[in-house]
Chain A
């Protein structure tokens, strides 16, 4: 009996690596500490009522952002481990197998469990406030989205200590990821982690499209909508067309692995090329899904901090929408080198280059918004200034990569690695950071310390260039991605060491950032935003107090212009009378629901069962999922009214006229 248990646990738990034992201990200690604190301070009820069951878009946004920062830490640790291994030739810090796991989890976590949730967090925080809504269109579904993301992310991360991490690359190309070459459970963690969170992403896409189309304040025509909301619309349209492809692709891979089918296997008539086409039909739109909202954030930030209208509003909308459409016609540029033939390659090369046109136009728009403005360089604007040069260079190397005959030389090299990190860090991460600093006061009621913020900015920026500029060169010298070591004779040492130094500078940037947040929490009173409008903003979210009250707007806002709040302030400054406020009325709000978190728990349970082929666990899990939905659909007590008194009290407490 004892031997059986020992056998089982040596397969079940990841063993043999001191770093992982260290992580095991840390995970157990942290979990115990959290349980202890919650019990000791009797916070279980609070956690359940205020967070786990909440349907408030702002709280869901905050949970998304917290989770994504945790994932940024995990993915960043992966990155630093890789850079440490590559710092010098012939190092044996990480074994190849371990290295392969780390670059796989780094990629998956950074795109799917860091960038996506950070983006959804910002959607949740800003969109309903910007368009003058009280919540998203489907608040409970919104909570389902978050908890499914969280369940998927946790399932994926569990592979670190249980069963073993996936090691087939972030897009898991078969036949390498088929049972024949990857018999372990790592690949199944990959499939189920992404599948479960992918359902959540799809639901968020639907939710925000409906929210934006149906819940805008009276008077806010689509063409008067803030640019961030436009970018969210473009991004969500792309999500609902792209994510089903991912779901189907991974389902087919799962059927191959689980039931021995031959969709993508080497033998039995399988065709791995099919997978590669499918995964990039999702994968390429996916990178536009994450970059489009960043464009929206920069548009808001540039206009606000230049104290000027956004230049070329219509151009901007057209550019956003055309990127979202054309992004579906470029996928094959990821495999020019797979023998599609010249005509196919020309088509996909040109479709890819075409995207550079609207993207370039956007950059001109931002620059011309600065032209004849009054620019202040607060943190959000600082990140925007870091973004523009970085993204323009990254875009240029993107155009070079899109030239099919040149791509035969760039493909799979560090030139490619440097390119996509430049657009993903310089574009997406810098963009979301700008958004985070911009909307932070609206989330929490205080801003983040400026002085520390400058340290964060410069560490990230300098670190970025030191890390990735050498990688362009080392790629041109022939260094291929995913190498776990290289020889002294290659001449790649100096460049790799420099790159490692840069990576650690960015790591230091992240640490200072964490310190900045803690420091700002400690000095909350000093950094308090008492006006609700810390940046002299232009859009509706700045008309209300900070942090935003749970009902958002005491009375339904009415809009007549683009940047309505700014125009209103100008009118009042010129001696005009403020718009008369309608009388308070009871506010209709959705009630909390425990269903989403319970359902996500069952999903996690089912996913874990499928990973280990334990039907006794998977089937009850799926039944639990179905039961949760069934119970929810018979729940009729879903909403309530906030009485006028309570609204008045809350508004007065925040020092607002009612």
Chain B
């Protein structure tokens, strides 16, 4: 018995020590999804809390019953009731199946509602017009291109608060996953397709973003900062970048796409037209092996192929680049259709 008491104290003490560790730094520590700063992350956290409470409905009685029965019916206790052949009860078994079924049913309904509501490709409701930012996962850095503003950044993304941001995601490297925990859940970045993620920040602030899926040697260095500011500050920042940063050329992009780590954030005053769509199509159309999603994709795929053939990747010829962009968009929408098949 003496030994047991010692075990228990140890068992109770260690998690407590862990909590002290944690709380000591709580003030300035980023709490990730527990500290949501955007509408999507907030709804996701609510859902997690509701579901946790529903699970506790089963968890708590089970734990209590386990310990109570183990204690009450221990062999050492001589006077406890003993029914060695009792092994069936219609009533109890009905409850035993019934309660989990009901709880899971409730969670399933909730899941169904929230899955449709929070589908990441669905645009967010807001009075403000959405801003589009294209995201390309490279080995091992993030390239952000702003098609409306005409600027580009690496390992850093800025957008106005209270404005829906429509991220278009792809990869020019092994797949990764684009995640800003405080703003909302992640979506994979995969080559050959454009994925969609809609997020919105409620407050100005700097939110850590991650490359959440393993993509090779230095994938751990694929962190970035997502900064939400007021609309004015954002406009001013865009102007600054346009004035003071160098341009990203196609050659510059090719160099950027090579394997390596970039520890600093980089900004570019411009980027080659249609860069994102070309990255998507580079893999989507393949080498003419007939890999297409859905039958209607064939036409646009061929168009994109022609565009690719007519273009030397190192020089920028505007006319053919436009052709590529059109075809790319058509192909892009086919990709989307495929995803919702």
Contacts and interface: CB of A to CB of B under 8 A. Distances in A.
A357 B216 contact: no
Given A354-B104, A411-B185, A494-B18, A367 B111 contact: no
A335 B182 CA distance: 21
B25 interface: yes
Contact of A478 (B32, B69, B177, B187): B32
B266 interface: no
A342 B116 contact: yes
Which of B14, B214, B215 has the most CB atoms of chain A within a 10 A radius of its CB? B214
Interface residues of A, number: 107
Given A267-B287, A478-B33, A346 B115 contact: yes
Contacts of A479: 32
B174 A360 contact: no
B185 A405 contact: yes
B251 interface: no
Contact of B59 (A367, A393, A461): A393
B287 A269 contact: yes
A287 to B, nearest CB: 19
B88 to A, nearest CB: 7
A273 B73 contact: no
Interface in B60-87: 62-63, 65-66, 69-70, 73-75, 80-87
A497 B47 contact: no
Contact of B14 (A100, A399, A462): A462
Given A350-B108, A405-B47, A308 B86 contact: yes
Nearest to A481: B214
A371 B69 contact: yes
B121 A269 contact: no
Interface stretch (B150-158, B217-225, B234-242, B309-317): B217-225
Interface string A396-409: 10011011111111
A477 B96 contact: no
A375 B18 contact: no
A312 B111 contact: no
B331 interface: no
A453 B44 CA distance: 44
B339 interface: yes
Nearest to B22: A494
B59 A408 contact: no
Interface stretch (A55-63, A135-143, A239-247, A483-491): A483-491
Interface stretch (B141-149, B190-198, B270-278, B319-327): B190-198
Interface stretch (A125-133, A144-152, A465-473, A641-649): A465-473
A491 B83 CA distance: 54
A360 B57 CA distance: 12
Given A176-B216, A312-B96, A478 B190 contact: no
Nearest to A356: B104
A266 B192 contact: yes
Interface stretch (A216-224, A384-392, A526-534): A384-392
Which of A335, A396, A501 has the most CB atoms of chain B within a 10 A radius of its CB? A396
B318 interface: no
Contacts of A353: 104, 107-108, 111
A502 B15 CA distance: 10
B164 interface: no
B175 A175 contact: yes
Contacts of B30: 477-478, 490-491
B87 A363 contact: no
B289 A268 contact: yes
Contacts of B43: 405
A19 to B, nearest CB: 19
A408 B120 contact: yes
Interface size class of B (residues with CB under 8 A): 35 or more
B84 A373 contact: yes
Contacts of B290: 269
A552 interface: no
Given A346-B111, A400-B51, A375 B70 contact: yes
A473 B30 CA distance: 12
A477 B216 contact: no
B87 A313 contact: yes
Given A307-B84, A356-B100, A367-B69, A466 B107 contact: no
Given A268-B287, A412-B212, A363 B22 contact: no
B181 interface: yes
A312 B70 contact: no
Given A308-B87, A408-B120, A373 B115 contact: no
Nearest to A176: B174
A434 B153 CA distance: 56
A480 interface: yes
Contacts of A169: 214
Which of A458, A494, A495 has the most CB atoms of chain B within a 10 A radius of its CB? A494
A113 B220 CA distance: 28
Interface string B98-137: 0011001001101110111111110000000000000000
A462 B181 CA distance: 30
Nearest to A497: B21
A374 B73 contact: yes
A498 B13 CA distance: 12
A405 B44 contact: yes
A517 B164 CA distance: 62
Contact of B185 (A181, A372, A407): A407
B7 A458 contact: yes
B138 to A, nearest CB: 13
Contacts of A270: 291
Contacts of A306: 73
A311 interface: yes
B52 A385 contact: no
Contacts of A365: 96
A360 B192 CA distance: 42
A342 B24 CA distance: 41
A125 to B, nearest CB: 26
B214 A409 contact: no
Which of B24, B195, B212 has the most CB atoms of chain A within a 10 A radius of its CB? B212
B2 interface: no
Contacts of A501: 14
A480 B210 contact: yes
Given A354-B104, A385-B70, A404-B111, A367 B62 contact: yes
Nearest to A486: B220
Contact of B186 (A357, A389, A403, A408): A408
A615 to B, nearest CB: 28
B59 A396 contact: yes
A610 B70 CA distance: 55
Given A308-B87, A396-B59, A411-B185, A370 B73 contact: yes
Contacts of A342: 115-116, 119
A528 to B, nearest CB: 23
B184 interface: yes
B255 interface: no
A408 B187 contact: yes
B73 A96 contact: no
Contacts of B59: 392-393, 396
27 contacts: A96-B217, A96-B218, A100-B217, A176-B175, A176-B215, A307-B75, A315-B97, A337-B187, A349-B111, A357-B100, A360-B100, A361-B96, A364-B62, A372-B81, A372-B82, A396-B52, A400-B48, A403-B47, A403-B114, A408-B184, A476-B34, A478-B182, A479-B32, A483-B220, A491-B25, A495-B22, A498-B14
Listed from nearest, the 7 A-B pairs whose CB atoms lie closest are A408-B185, A269-B291, A494-B21, A491-B29, A478-B32, A309-B87, A269-B289
Interface of B: 7, 10-11, 14-15, 17-18, 21-22, 24-25, 28-34, 41, 43-45, 47-48, 51-52, 55-56, 58-59, 62-63, 65-66, 69-70, 73-75, 80-88, 92-93, 96-97, 100-101, 104, 107-108, 110-112, 114-121, 174-175, 177, 179, 181-182, 184-188, 190-193, 195-196, 208, 210-220, 283, 286-287, 289-291, 339-341
Given A342-B115, A478-B33, 7 more contacts: A361-B100, A375-B74, A392-B63, A466-B14, A476-B31, A476-B32, A480-B212
